[in-house]
Structure 1
Amino acid sequence: MPGSEAIGKCFCGKEALQRCSGCQSVFYCSREHQKADWKKHRSNCRAYRVERTLNVGHRLIACRDLKAGDVILQEKPLVMGPKYTAGQVCLGCYSSVDGRTKCSQCGWPTCGRAECHTSDSDHAVECGLIASGGRPIVGSLPVQAYQSVMVLRCLALKDQNPSRWEELLQLESHVHERRQRGLEDVDRATSVRLIRETLGLDVPEELILQLCGILMVNSFEQPPMKANSPQGLVAVYSTASLLEHDCVANAIKTFTSNGDIVIRAAVPIAKGDKIALCCTEPLWGTVNRQRHLSQTKFFQCACERCKDPTELDTFISGLYCQKCPPQSGILLIENPRDDASDWKCRQCGTRQPANYVAEIIESVGKEIVALKKGSLKDCEGFLRKFSKILHPNHFYLTDVKMALCQMYGHLEGQSLIEMNDDTLNAKEALALELLKVADVVSPGMTRLRAILLYELQAVLSVRCRKLCVTQSISKDELQANVKVVRKMLQESSTIFSWEPEETDEGQLAVISAKELRDVELFLKTLD
């Protein structure tokens, strides 16, 4: 019967309507019985279960129907530390340092602040381990040594938290694949040498190499969250590392200020469906995504998008065929999972070898790198030039369009309210065009959608203000338009609110929340 509530049975045998709010999978006849059952139910009360398959390995499966935005998992890191490319940083606060101030216990460069040397600071983890080896660092430290910080923090878990250590060792390391590609030789020259020879720690070489593999395969990059840590951090998580990859993911990840990872449903997920993150950049073309996943995660993606030359009718990798009338025939790779595959025109059937396309993409890539940062003129010129060669949704054009959409109205000397109608229309067109692509390759409540909705509502808001000034809009039309603005702000501010306040998106959460309040007040004046 429509609207009727589901009825289940409490563990006592009575029929019950009240569900566990966490997993929605068990019923209780009373609050008292729910409390009484908590110790038994706690380990099963979650939105997912871990499943093992022959092809994928471990993955997470939804235990109940999930709504977009539902939290699936929040987890503390097993280990967390600086990115390998961060340069010299203090291991307590991750601010940049010049190397002149050293930790008195282990000799590692620090910022010199007392709080970075306390027993509960991040640096205390490896500091004690280095000190125990009896060979503190003397002299300058090569930047490559920072590759070993996370390995040292992993090793410290063995004594400090044995259960977490065992969880870490269960994670995939792809030792065989890394050995075949010569990556272990790099690790021997850096981490193995530093830990065994420089620091004098009695750690088996094979264990160090295994940890290097675990870190490479399972690390999540956190966005910069501190003013003094512009590079951001990396972290490894026990359960989040089991999430399956899909180039069109149904889940998203964010991080808290203290380093927890939070996994949410980006779109509705049905009970029994896999939960998947995108471990690469969704706005890249298939060849680039496949290459990135192969180099960093050691697998070839076989998702629906990767198997489809059109990439779900987005044509993100498409080029115009130069043998067809201008901007008509589209060249697409015949086998997207083989970067050596020929490319074929959908209109005239002309084939081109992979190196023909690779040369074009390399040439365009060089020009995009050479673009002057923050230059509207350069970006607009790039679009005019390469729109004759690349499909409108091509990843290089999409990249520049995204930058342009965010630059219009936000550059010094050009506020949103000062934009002329042509610029407003251009910004709106870009946002709408990009949203169509995002809805396919990065669907649901994603960071990309939030940014585009925020930019789009800004256009509509400014347009409403201008029409009000010239009295060129009726009250009913104004009210309808402002309600559209409100809806966009509600969704974008919700998504931004999941980000730490220290991030750019976290700051947008504060700004958009204020704008939403202002819109609500304005709507009341129109009632």
Structure 2
Amino acid sequence: MESKRELPTCDVCQQPANQTCGGCKQVYYCSRSHQKQGWKDGHKTKCCPFKIQFTSALGRHMIATRDIKQGEIILKEKPAVTGPRMASTAHCLSCAKKLQPSMIEENLDYYKCPLCNWPMCSPECAKDEVHKNECKAMTGKGYKSSIKYDSPEKAEAAYCVIAPLRVLLMKESNTKQFENIMNLESHLDKRINTHLYNVLKINLVAFIKNVIGLPFKDETILQVASIFDTNSFDVRSPDGTKRFRAIYVTASMMNHNCRPNTRHIFVGKDYNIVILATVPIAKGELITATYTQSLWGTLDRRKHLKQTKCFDCECERCGDPTEFGTYLGNIYCSLCNGLFNDNGLSTGAMLVSTNTFDETAPWKCEKCDHYIQSRQMFWGNNALKQDLNKLNKSGPQELEEFIEKYKLTLHPRNHLIVQAKLALAQIYGNYEGYTLPELPNDLLNRKIEICHELLELADKLEPGWTRFRGTILLELQAAMSMQTKREFEDQKLTKTGAQDQLMQSMALLQEATNILRVEPHMVETLEAKVKELSNQLDTANSFPE
């Protein structure tokens, strides 16, 4: 006889219930009133459309508990701890603002905390709560920082002690948060014998134990440093004046993927992290983030992840030697590279890795039997990266020359060419001497062409509502609007044609707005662009036929 299925129980009264929470779909209620009561009693802070699971293959990871819509906020979380980067230029320990020296007793120097002598931006920040415990710990042992102004870009190794010290001090001041952080993955066993950690064994451990006198084992101190390296997010203010590291305990549970389904932003004065779905995420699907740069080729991405996060990425993109048909990390075969199309671009075949998960595997042509050793790809890639990094990026000339110089080796979607084009998309239309009104028609068309190419890449490598797509859409619609204006004035477009093209630009702007409006610093920019384009449309509508 079939047993009767039991109803779930109400989270408030534990009686049978058939109404589920609309947010997380994991908690049940027997009535609307108990749902409201449960929300007030604490479910508000716990309600989320995901759960954390553990498997031996994936470790801890985040799974959607219901269908998540594109653009939906999945998580908003305060940082558990913040701190300066391992080696940092002089930054305020409280607000993380990059410091500028001032004249102090006839010498250029930073304002210093009156107690511990660490560089700070103001007396207010020296008294801030975030600096209080570390300042007390250092001054209690008679320690004073010796950092002095030397040059604005000098990296100070002394900053490596601050973030780990803040976590260790939590053992007394915030035990629960200390335990949450210490339960995160560290990969210390993979870092312990590296050059950096051999230095930390001397500098960081000695500072914590001998200078500050905290009773922690060497391994625990290094574990905290490694937890930061494994889990922290690089946080930057929109204006570029602040930069620091932060650990967000729940957000750190997301697995990495080189084609993720989320993006994150930082909001508010406390830099809360907000995780957003860039594409629809189905119930039961992994929620993923990327720990690297989407416009790097597979060789660079996997090397970066191995060095900084201590794992070998085996995602779908890394397993595809063509990177979803973009060939982002590939080059032309030198033997098949003799044919050209009408645009002067090679129609030759690509060299692809024979095993993308093995960096020592040879690279073979897709058409002929020619192959090269992996070390040749590494050497060539690094040499061209150095050439690209040396270019003067204050104008377009050297970037355009780089693209032209290597067009027989690097195809139009190679990651180095793409990075050059991305820089050009910003220069054309924005830099002095190259603003949209100043651009000649050929460079305006060049900007539009580049933006279309970058959007095609975004569709394959960063699909959905990503910041990359949003910013390129803004650049494209602005250029297209200017092109429409000129073509109408030159009588190359009818009134109807101009209206149609401006409506296309408005559609692009509306999509960009949907993507970027969640970023507070973008609100005014988006409103101004919508107003400007609306005025153009009104003007076009008033023109005689």
2:298 aligned residue (283, 286, 289): 286
1:96 aligned residue (64, 76, 99): 99
How has the CA–CA distance of structure 1 residues 482 and 26 changed in structure 2, closer, same or farther, with 3 Å as cutoff?
A: farther
User: Are 1:114 and 2:123 an aligned pair?
Assistant: yes
- Which residue identity does 1:514 align to in structure 2? A
How has the CA–CA distance of structure 1 residues 238 and 418 changed in structure 2, closer, same or farther, with 3 Å as cutoff?
A: same
Deviation of the 1:160 alpha carbon:
1.8
Deviation of the 1:102 alpha carbon:
3.0
Q: Distance in 1 between matches of 2:44 and 2:110?
A: 50
User: After superposition, what is the alpha-carbon deviation per residue over 1:62-98, rounded to whole angstroms, capped at 9, x for unaligned?
Assistant: 1111111100001111111222332222212333255
Check the 8 A contact 1:225/1:500 in 2, yes or no.
no
Check the 8 A contact 1:220/1:234 in 2, yes or no.
yes
How has the CA–CA distance of structure 1 residues 374 and 106 changed in structure 2, closer, same or farther, with 3 Å as cutoff?
A: same
Deviation of the 1:479 alpha carbon:
2.6
Check the 8 A contact 1:97/1:110 in 2, yes or no.
no
The DSSP-based 3-state class of the residue aligned with 1:64 is: coil
Match of residue 75 from structure 1: 77
Check the 8 A contact 2:17/2:28 in 1, yes or no.
no
Q: Distance in 2 between matches of 1:515 and 1:359?
A: 44
Q: Distance in 2 between matches of 1:459 and 1:109?
A: 45
Matches within 5 A, 1:307-326: 307-326=319-338
- Which residue identity does 1:298 align to in structure 2? C
Q: Distance in 2 between matches of 1:159 and 1:466?
A: 67
Match of residue 105 from structure 1: 115
Q: Distance in 1 between matches of 2:371 and 2:238?
A: 48
Match of residue 524 from structure 2: 510
Deviation of the 1:205 alpha carbon:
1.6
Check the 8 A contact 2:485/2:498 in 1, yes or no.
no
Match of residue 533 from structure 2: 519
User: Are 1:214 and 2:221 an aligned pair?
Assistant: no
1:343 aligned residue (360, 363, 368): 363
TM-score (norm 2): 0.87
| Bigger Cα displacement from structure 2, 70-79 vs 249-258 | 249-258
Deviation of the 1:209 alpha carbon:
0.7
Q: Distance in 2 between matches of 1:430 and 1:226?
A: 26
Check the 8 A contact 2:66/2:282 in 1, yes or no.
yes
Deviation of the 1:524 alpha carbon:
5.7
Match of residue 3 from structure 1: none
How has the CA–CA distance of structure 1 residues 100 and 468 changed in structure 2, closer, same or farther, with 3 Å as cutoff?
A: closer
How has the CA–CA distance of structure 1 residues 44 and 86 changed in structure 2, closer, same or farther, with 3 Å as cutoff?
A: closer
| Bigger Cα displacement from structure 2, 435-444 vs 352-361 | 352-361
User: After superposition, what is the alpha-carbon deviation per residue over 1:467-500, rounded to whole angstroms, capped at 9, x for unaligned?
Assistant: 3323432333333222221121122233333334
- Which residue identity does 1:87 align to in structure 2? T
The DSSP-based 3-state class of the residue aligned with 2:437 is: helix
The DSSP-based 3-state class of the residue aligned with 2:201 is: helix
Match of residue 262 from structure 1: 274
Match of residue 143 from structure 2: 136
| Bigger Cα displacement from structure 2, 370-379 vs 83-92 | 83-92
User: Are 1:413 and 2:433 an aligned pair?
Assistant: yes
Deviation of the 1:20 alpha carbon:
4.1
How has the CA–CA distance of structure 1 residues 202 and 196 changed in structure 2, closer, same or farther, with 3 Å as cutoff?
A: same
Check the 8 A contact 1:144/1:190 in 2, yes or no.
no
Q: Distance in 2 between matches of 1:43 and 1:363?
A: 51
| Bigger Cα displacement from structure 2, 410-419 vs 144-153 | 410-419
The DSSP-based 3-state class of the residue aligned with 1:263 is: strand
Q: Distance in 2 between matches of 1:24 and 1:49?
A: 11
Check the 8 A contact 1:287/1:337 in 2, yes or no.
no
Q: Distance in 2 between matches of 1:276 and 1:25?
A: 21
Q: Distance in 2 between matches of 1:194 and 1:88?
A: 19
| Bigger Cα displacement from structure 2, 462-471 vs 255-264 | 462-471
User: Sequence identity of aligned pairs in percent?
Assistant: 34
Deviation of the 1:518 alpha carbon:
3.3
The DSSP-based 3-state class of the residue aligned with 1:418 is: coil
- Which residue identity does 1:449 align to in structure 2? R
Matches within 5 A, 1:23-62: 23=24, 31-38=32-39, 39=41, 41-42=43-44, 45-62=47-64
| Bigger Cα displacement from structure 2, 95-104 vs 179-188 | 95-104
Check the 8 A contact 1:280/1:293 in 2, yes or no.
yes
How has the CA–CA distance of structure 1 residues 135 and 518 changed in structure 2, closer, same or farther, with 3 Å as cutoff?
A: same
RMSD of aligned C-alpha atoms?
2.5
User: Are 1:248 and 2:250 an aligned pair?
Assistant: no
Q: Distance in 2 between matches of 1:423 and 1:139?
A: 52
Q: Distance in 1 between matches of 2:428 and 2:110?
A: 43
Match of residue 190 from structure 1: 203
Deviation of the 1:397 alpha carbon:
0.5
- Which residue identity does 1:123 align to in structure 2? H
2:188 aligned residue (175, 181, 201): 175
Unaligned runs of 5+ in 1: 1-7
The DSSP-based 3-state class of the residue aligned with 1:367 is: helix
User: After superposition, what is the alpha-carbon deviation per residue over 1:76-130, rounded to whole angstroms, capped at 9, x for unaligned?
Assistant: 111112223322222123332555543222232333x22112243x322421222
Check the 8 A contact 2:262/2:288 in 1, yes or no.
yes
User: After superposition, what is the alpha-carbon deviation per residue over 1:434-453, rounded to whole angstroms, capped at 9, x for unaligned?
Assistant: 11111111111111101111
- Which residue identity does 1:362 align to in structure 2? N
Deviation of the 1:382 alpha carbon:
0.4
The DSSP-based 3-state class of the residue aligned with 1:123 is: helix
User: After superposition, what is the alpha-carbon deviation per residue over 1:300-335, rounded to whole angstroms, capped at 9, x for unaligned?
Assistant: 011111111111111011111111133302111111
